[in-house]
Amino acid sequence: MTVVGPLLIGVVYCLLNLLIREPHRRTANALMIAGAGAAYLSGGGLGAGELPFTAVMTYVAYRGLRSWNWIGAGWLLHTAWDIVHHVKGAPILPFEPGSSYGCAICDPVIALWCFGLFRSSRFSRLSGLFRRRAA
């Protein structure tokens, strides 16, 4: 479950995004990147070293307001930061020691989706079905 669980969380995140129509979907994901950039600020274990990463992620989130590629890049940056925290810092969830490891597995799934891997016409048709059933 240390790999399958985080992979499933990434897939569920992508599926839940189908409930949000464009362009709001991209905006919501840019906001998620901004939040992910600040996730380690409260006790991430790297002290003031957390601040530059948060600034970079804020810039990436701003650029993500107009580009899915920037959002995908943000998820990959967060993956790298998760690995740093898994090795050197504190976990993203203080009550779950392997949470940074899990996040490092989940985030690339979301990044691939943001880069368009799963945003094909077939996936778009699924999106319409998913939204109709949720309504």
Interval 71-100: pLDDT, tens: 999 999 999 999 999 998 888 888 888 999
Provide the pLDDT confidence category of residue 130 given band limits of 50, 70 and 90.
low
User: Residue 124: its pLDDT value, please?
Assistant: 56
Residues in CB range of 31: below 8 A, 6 or more apart: 61
Q: What's the pTM value of the predicted model, to 2 decimals? A: 0.85
Planar angle of CA 94, 97, 103, nearest 5 degrees: 90
Residues in CB range of 51: below 8 A, 6 or more apart: 41
User: Residue 34: its pLDDT value, please?
Assistant: 95
